Structure 1
Amino acid sequence: MKTKTLLIVAFIFAISIPIACVEPINLKISTNVSILSIDGTIDDSDREQYISIKKSLPSSGNVTYAPEKLAKVSIKENGNKVYDCVEKAPGLYYLPIGFKTIVGNTYVLNITLSDGKTYKSEEEKMRSTPEISLLSVKFEPEGITRGNTKLPAHAIYLDSKDSPETGDYYLWSWKLFEKQNYCKTCEGSYYVTYPAPQGKCIETAALREAETIYDYACDGNCWDIFKSQDINIMSDVYSNGNEIKNRLIGKIPYFQTNGFLIEVTQQNVSPSAFRYLKILASQSQTNGTLADAPPAALIGNITNINDKYESVGGYFRVGNAKTKRLWVNRTDAIGFTPLGFYGGRLVNPEPAGDDPNRPPRAICVKSETRTPVMPEGWRF
């Protein structure tokens, strides 16, 4: 009954809901049961695609999740072709390299957990998405509000053209590339390069008591990757067939004087995915962001095929991804103070001593949030 009440209340929110968050907000709900949460978006982009499976842990405070390991996960296309997923990290099940969805095809997610429980998503159809016609940027000296402070930022806007057909539902997201000069930070400790490749921080009593923080320069080029943590969706009910002009996609903090590269993705999602995201958006105004795991009460399109009464959180989405990149040189922000990457703290490299091997440089380890490979469209 509580879940049904939540759904009814959430549906009265506005059709178009952009919610911009600079940093995640802790989700505070209480639960005395463990609920499975399954999330994943598959599309026709070149990215490596995966399904996330985790389970909430009973808690009286912030919700925490544990990865669900050793599951069998697959995607069925058009009711016949099957793509098996491989668990490359705890609870993360990756599709084969090069997998891409196709407009007009249908997809179903199938999961069998290690305890034998079996889950299946509703059928999702790949919908065609229009191209992004233009990205533009505007510097705002007081673009972001953090507490009582106004921070400088660059606002990113999008132009597109809605298709003549009714019933389109758009989701926008962005990915930010920032050049990073320091690849390791050690608190109350110093950095050593073993074990490779990440190395490790070794704590000492003197550094810990002095609350010393050392930062270590990158051994080569490195870029940090930031992803949008906002839910930016829109129905075409009031814009059917018309231009979508100056849609605010996000606000990028003025981290540094160097330029940045922004990649914007536009997707046309299903009506049920739109309804799910709208509920999540309304909850995230006070509870979190798209990057957070949704509250246990937010049920998606996946069910236990042997127990229809089991609550399963998360959502399986299929999208036709249209992306566009924009280089921003930040020269319009000259005269303003950058925020930096350390919450206002200045970089503090370990001072050189008698040991010629110190301080060492840190490897830029490729991950979801960092890459040593220069992004396409980057300018020095």
Structure 2
Amino acid sequence: MEMLKRLLYILLIIPLSCVDPYTLELERGEQLLTVDGFITTEPGPHRIRLTRTDTYGSVFEGLIRPVRLATVNVRDSEGMVTFLTEVEAGVYETPAGFKAKVGLSYTLQLRLIEGREYTSFPEKVNQVAPIDQVSIRTVEIATDDRLEQRVGVQLIAHFKDPGDQANNYYWRTAPGSFVLVANPELYTNPPTHPSDPRGPAPKDCCAICYLVESSRSQNFTIASDESFNGLETRLPVAFIEDNGLRFKDTYRAEIQQMGISQEAFRFLRLIEQQLSITGSVFDQPPANIRGNIISLDNPDETVLGYFIAADVATSELYIESDDLDIKATPRIIPDDCRTVPGATLSPPSNWLRN
């Protein structure tokens, strides 16, 4: 019995033992400047975003911070210099009427507030083939959940590739917009007490609004004409997922088809390869892919990003709900559609469908 008491006493005092805290000290790495943006042959304003990332050894990356109060300009091969204005923290815009010209080369020049100077290599604007048509195809994409599929619309660009030159293509989608359908007649009053049920309180307005998608980072598609030089071509260039709201009525999509340099194509192909990494523990860690920006003060400094100058062909497409063969489960908004952030009763300025 005495032995049992001693054992019990030892077990009780063990959790009370002091443990010295361990402080993890991480070696702070270099601060990497990142340049993100492009100019095209469409009227501006065009945006260049400057950020800096603090790195901490090989453990993790720190905060991405905007680079403010920089002097930013674009110089063309004829000597014309256009200055950009900082419109928000780290975001610099060309004048509204500025546009690149086919055949000219453009160089991005930066001077940071502390005096460091950077420049891009010249980017020549190559003419791009026009888009003849954009068609759609409803597709399903498998997910990790065998019982759940991603449903959406694949956009297919139809165009005739010029046969007299090597061409590299870069496709992006501009922020889409759509008719937002709500159900204000299903609105219910919130309970005044946890035991009170929600009572029906239908609203008279509003069931129909318009919503412009945010301009968050989007996927892109690239292609070289090595396999279709001089041919009539149809290529899938974008995927718009059906989230239960986008295709309840009408969706406006806009495709930008750009002609880019061979160097820009190689850079984007490396980015595409890194984005395809599955995230397995056996994957190689992402590498810092150097672009076409160099430091004039320290040629060995790593600068991330790429400045692109490109000719662009744009095509818009209105997708109706009935155009989809397969649809996601509709999402219900039991309230006035104007309660959705960003939703308005008036269509966007580029909305041409009655």
C-alpha distance in structure 1 between counterparts of 2:326 and 2:273, whole Å: 37
**4+ residue runs of structure 1 moved beyond 6 angstroms?**
217-220
Partner of 1:263: 254
Structure 2 unaligned residues grouped into runs of 5+: 1-26, 183-189, 195-204, 280-285
Say if 2:196 is the partner of 1:222.
Answer: no
Q: 3-state DSSP class of the match of 2:213?
A: strand
- Which of 230, 235, 242 aligns to 1:241? It is 230
Task: Kindly state the Cα deviation for residue 33 of structure 1 after the two structures are TM-superposed.
Answer: 2.3
Do the aligned partners of 1:223 and 1:372 also contact (CA within 8 Å) in 2?
no
- Compared CA separation, residues 332 and 96, structure 1 to 2 (3 A): closer
C-alpha distance in structure 1 between counterparts of 2:328 and 2:150, whole Å: 9
Partner of 1:327: 318
Amino acid at match of 1:253: E
Amino acid at match of 2:269: K
Task: Kindly state the Cα deviation for residue 236 of structure 1 after the two structures are TM-superposed.
Answer: 1.1
Say if 2:89 is the partner of 1:74.
Answer: no
Task: Kindly state the Cα deviation for residue 47 of structure 1 after the two structures are TM-superposed.
Answer: 4.6
- Compared CA separation, residues 224 and 109, structure 1 to 2 (3 A): same
Do the aligned partners of 1:162 and 1:236 also contact (CA within 8 Å) in 2?
yes
* TM-score of the aligned structures, taking structure 1 as reference length: 0.69
Task: Tell me the alpha carbon deviations over residues 73-123 of structure 1, each in whole angstroms, 9 at most, x when there is no partner.
Answer: 001112511101110101001111111101011111000001100000001
Q: 3-state DSSP class of the match of 1:260?
A: strand
- Compared CA separation, residues 159 and 333, structure 1 to 2 (3 A): closer
C-alpha distance in structure 2 between counterparts of 1:371 and 1:109, whole Å: 40
Say if 2:276 is the partner of 1:302.
Answer: no
- Compared CA separation, residues 275 and 137, structure 1 to 2 (3 A): same
Partner of 1:316: 307
User: What are the within-5 Å matches in structure 2 for residues 152-163 of structure 1?
Assistant: 152-163=151-162
Task: Kindly state the Cα deviation for residue 31 of structure 1 after the two structures are TM-superposed.
Answer: 7.6
C-alpha distance in structure 2 between counterparts of 1:31 and 1:323, whole Å: 44
Partner of 1:178: 178
Amino acid at match of 1:44: T
Say if 2:145 is the partner of 1:117.
Answer: no
Q: 3-state DSSP class of the match of 2:129?
A: coil
Partner of 1:89: 88
Q: 3-state DSSP class of the match of 1:99?
A: coil
C-alpha distance in structure 1 between counterparts of 2:136 and 2:324, whole Å: 12
| Paired positions, count | 295
- Compared CA separation, residues 248 and 31, structure 1 to 2 (3 A): farther
Amino acid at match of 2:241: P
C-alpha distance in structure 1 between counterparts of 2:227 and 2:32, whole Å: 37
Task: Tell me the alpha carbon deviations over residues 213-267 of structure 1, each in whole angstroms, 9 at most, x when there is no partner.
Answer: xxxx98995322256722311111121111112x111222223311211111111
Q: Which moved more, 1:107-116 or 1:37-46?
A: 37-46
Q: 3-state DSSP class of the match of 1:128?
A: coil
- Which of 57, 60, 70 aligns to 2:54? It is 57
C-alpha distance in structure 1 between counterparts of 2:110 and 2:210, whole Å: 37
Do the aligned partners of 2:104 and 2:124 also contact (CA within 8 Å) in 1?
yes
- Compared CA separation, residues 372 and 75, structure 1 to 2 (3 A): farther
- Compared CA separation, residues 94 and 223, structure 1 to 2 (3 A): same
Partner of 1:151: 150
C-alpha distance in structure 1 between counterparts of 2:63 and 2:277, whole Å: 17
Do the aligned partners of 2:152 and 2:327 also contact (CA within 8 Å) in 1?
no
- Compared CA separation, residues 181 and 45, structure 1 to 2 (3 A): farther
Do the aligned partners of 1:219 and 1:361 also contact (CA within 8 Å) in 2?
no
Greater Cα radius of gyration, structure 1 or 2: 2
Do the aligned partners of 2:54 and 2:61 also contact (CA within 8 Å) in 1?
no
Task: Tell me the alpha carbon deviations over residues 249-298 of structure 1, each in whole angstroms, 9 at most, x when there is no partner.
Answer: 1222223311211111111100100000000000011289xxxxxx6711
C-alpha distance in structure 2 between counterparts of 1:64 and 1:147, whole Å: 30
C-alpha distance in structure 2 between counterparts of 1:335 and 1:239, whole Å: 31
C-alpha distance in structure 1 between counterparts of 2:293 and 2:309, whole Å: 14
Q: 3-state DSSP class of the match of 2:30?
A: coil
Structure 1 unaligned residues grouped into runs of 5+: 1-29, 183-189, 191-205, 208-216, 289-294, 341-345, 351-358
Q: 3-state DSSP class of the match of 1:70?
A: coil
Partner of 1:44: 41
Amino acid at match of 2:210: C
